[in-house]
Amino acid sequence: MEDRPHDQLSGSALKRILDGEKPSDIFEARLRDKPDLTTGDLALEFRKVFPSTGVDGMSVIWKWKVPGTKVGLSDDALDTQLRYWLTQYGYLK
């Protein structure tokens, strides 16, 4: 996928997850700002900030039911699964 700097999610925004902010809230805000982003874009940025999570974290984001779609993981499932992987890889305690 082509790197699109104007679409990149800032590392500081994603790191707010470590302070307890819900990943789904961060992603939804980003999608409101840049509606052309895909779950693939969000997954790549997540991996850049949390590289140890690899495809485990990315696959959760790919499966997320973004606003306006009918199929996929709920916000709660996304938040729970990403926190699980962040804990497994030592980013969260």
| pLDDT of 58 strictly over 50 | yes
DSSP tag of 10:
P
DSSP tag of 73:
B
CB 73 within 8 A of CB 61: no
For the chain, give the mean pLDDT.
Answer: 87
Question: Domain spans of the chain?
Answer: 10-88
Which residue type occupies 6? H
Average pLDDT of the segment spanning 67-73: 84
Residue 89 CA to its chain's centroid (Å):
15
| pLDDT of 28 strictly over 60 | yes
